[in-house]
Amino acid sequence: MTKTISASKVIKLPRRVGVCPACGADLWIDISEWTQLRNGAWIAGECGVMTECTKEPDLAHRKAWMAWYHTHMGTYPPMLWKLSDKAYRWLRRNYRFEVNNSDA
């Protein structure tokens, strides 16, 4: 059974689906593309789902962000697409979205 939520809602990927391969932290799901199904329901677009480490510091804290970047970028990019694909499949099974014109 799918749940319908606002397209602007922040979603955390369940740990059983995936965690950050660099540090083991939880992952946020970032959705930048939407697809409307024939029945009018909206889902995340397959190419618009990305995962982001919840431990990534704000860019305003440049030193902390650079340290995070150097520890993550050696491990993260090769796993990025695999994790994003898992996140997309999980979203498709579990969620539909209320999409406004500004979201689509």
**Pairwise CA distance, residues 13 & 93, whole Å:** 13
Looking at the predicted structure, is the pLDDT value of residue 104 above 70? no
Cα–Cα distance for residue pair 22/68, rounded to 1 Å: 10
- For residue 104, being part of any structural domain is answered with no
Task: Name residue 97's beta-bridge partners.
Answer: 5, 42
d(CA 30, CA 92): 14
Q: Is residue 12 part of a domain?
A: yes
Strand bridging mode 27-31 / 49-53: antiparallel
Structure token pair of residue 92: 């498709």
Quick: pLDDT tens for 68-87: 988 888 666 667 778 888 99
Q: How many domains does the chain have?
A: 1
Lowest mean pLDDT among 45-54, 81-90, 94-103: 94-103
Its pTM stands at 0.82
41 is a domain residue: yes
The pLDDT of residue 92: 94
Residue 66 lies in a domain: yes
Among the listed residues 86, 98, 104, 101, the one whose alpha carbon sits nearest the alpha carbon of residue 29:
86
For residue 70, what are its two tokens? 């150097």
The answer to whether residue 42 sits within a structural domain is yes
Q: In percent, how much of the chain has pLDDT > 70?
A: 90
Query: Domain of 21?
Result: 3-98
